[in-house]
Amino acid sequence: MSNLNKLDFTDLEVFGRNYLKWVQDVKLHLTTKGIRATIKASTYDKLVDEAKKANAMIFIQRYIHDALQTDYLVEEDPRTLWLALVDRFDHQKDIYLPEARHNWQHLRFQDFKSVNEYNSEVC
Those residues whose C-beta lies under 8 Å from the C-beta of residue 9, and which sit 6 or more positions away, are: 21, 22, 25, 63
Q: What percent of the chain has pLDDT over 90?
A: 45
Residue-level pLDDT at 96 = 75
**What does the pLDDT average to over 64-85?**
93
Alpha-carbon distance of 63 to 26, in angstroms, equals 9
- The H-assigned helical ranges of the chain are 19-33, 50-62, 66-71, 78-89, 92-105, 115-122
Residue-level pLDDT at 6 = 55
Residue-level pLDDT at 1 = 45
Indicate the pTM of the whole model: 0.69
Positive or negative torsion for Cα 22, 25, 29, 32:
positive
**What does the pLDDT average to over 27-48?**
81
Alpha-carbon distance of 14 to 5, in angstroms, equals 21
Alpha-carbon distance of 48 to 15, in angstroms, equals 31
Q: What percent of the chain has pLDDT over 70?
A: 88
Who has greater pLDDT, 69 or 115? 69
In this predicted model, what pLDDT tens digit does every residue of 78-106 receive, in sequence order?
A: 999 999 999 998 887 777 778 878 877 77
Task: Output the average pLDDT for the chain.
Answer: 83
In this predicted model, what pLDDT tens digit does every residue of 15-27 receive, in sequence order?
A: 888 888 899 999 9
